[in-house]
Structure 1
Amino acid sequence: MGKALKKQKDRKETTFFQRFIYWGFIPLLIVLFLGLLIASFAGVNVFQQAKELAGKIPFISNVAVQEDNENISEYKEKMIQLDAEIQNKNAEIEQLKKKIEDKDAEQERYKVEKKRLEETIDELKEQQEQNKREFKDIVSTYASMSPKKAAPIVLEMNDDEAVKILTNLPTESLAKILENMPADKAAKYTEKLSINAN
């Protein structure tokens, strides 16, 4: 008989616990879930509201304030670090900008120098062409002169200029001018002409 009473008592305890779960706990969870769902559709941030309510409860509010203070100090430190990094990056950017400006200025100087050199080269080429034309005119003048008049003039020149002119004369004019020179001078110029020809 004692066993039967014990089983009945166990059944009642189990039944009471099961009833509590079925009729109390599960409906409470369903109501909470539906409440959260409705609140989220309504645009209410339930967790923010819960945090505010918790802040009004004395013990929980002290814990929340301590956490907020710790979070604020951490954020301040992070902000200081990030601000320092930003300043470093800005300094690097300024240095790079300065280098770029220096390179641009140097490149501009090179362009100006290049343009000046090109102008100088063009002037020298033009001058060289003019000198060639003038020299050709001088050579043609000596070629058209009578050998008797040309020979004494060539003898008065320095040897380099004389050889340069004699080298560019046509062979017939050269031969006639050399005939009208003294033999020793004609031999000297002939020797220099043969050296230049080689």
Structure 2
Amino acid sequence: MDKVLEEKEEKKQSRFQGFIFVVFIPLLFAITVALIVMTILGINVFELSKEYSQKIPFISSALDEEGTQSIEDIESKMIDLEAEIKDREAKISKLETEIVNKDEEISQVQLEKERLEEEILELTAMKDENKRAFKDIIKTYETISAKKAAPILTQMSEDEALQILSSIKADTLAAIMEKMNPEDAARYTELLTANAENQLENSP
């Protein structure tokens, strides 16, 4: 029994080996020779195989479907890229508008700053002028006689009179107070005392 199986196995192997040596190897050799000859003759084997494959219905339809699918993919990608480009352009346009608005806002703030600086300069000049004028007024009251100064001061508002009286020299102040009537002298003395106390409280 074993011998029969072994004989069968040997026959199968000998048939397979015979097929390889008789059919497969000669066919492979023939294909190789044909490719070499066609290449020498200048025939593009791959182009030729593609051309004949297109003539076969199944292969041709498969190639066409693959090509169509590829073109559709490319067109889809192009549409997506164009949409992305438009989106980026819209963002750039928005940013440019924001930059323009910011520049205008900066210009307005700069103009407002310059206007305020000019106003400060004008007020400073007015303050300096008022200081000079006030100093001149103080000099005038220190120059004229107390008899003339007392009635003028009593005719002024309390704030104006108090400002002058608190700025003149002590001996001039005493002389003017002597020429005022007792009621006015007492009132201004009280105001001057309160003013001096306020200045002491507010001083550091």
* TM-score (normalised: structure 1): 0.74
May I ask how many residue pairs the two structures share in their alignment? Answer: 183
Equivalent residue number for residue 133 of structure 1 = 132
Structure 1 CA distance, aligned partners of 2:114 and 2:48?
A: 77
Asked if 2 retains the 8 angstrom alpha-carbon contact of 1:154 and 1:162, the reply is yes
Give SS of 1:121's match. helix
Shift of 1:145: 2.0
Q: Is 2:103 the partner of 1:101?
A: no
Measure how far apart 1:152 and its partner are.
Answer: 2.2
Q: State the percentage of identical aligned residues.
A: 38
Structure 1 segment 114-153 matched on structure 2, within 5 A: 114-153=113-152
Distance 1:99 1:71, change over 3 A: same
Determine the structure 2 residue equivalent to 1:66: 65
**1:13 to 2:19 alignment:** no
CA gap of 1:7–1:171, structure 2 versus 1, over 3 A, is closer
SS at match of 2:193: helix
Cα distance, 1:81 vs structure 2: 2.8
What amino acid maps onto 1:177 in structure 2? I
Task: Give the CA deviation at 1:8.
Answer: 6.4
Aligned residue for 1:88?
Answer: 87
Q: Give the distance between the partners of 2:172 and 2:12, measured in 1 at CA.
A: 149
Structure 1 counterpart of 2:66, which letter?
E
Structure 2: runs of 5+ lacking an equivalent: 36-44, 198-204
Q: What TM-score, normalized to structure 2?
A: 0.72
Q: Which runs of 5+ in 1 are unaligned?
A: 33-45
Residue 131 to residue 50, structure 1, CA distance change in 2 (3 Å): farther
1:164 to partner: Cα distance = 0.7
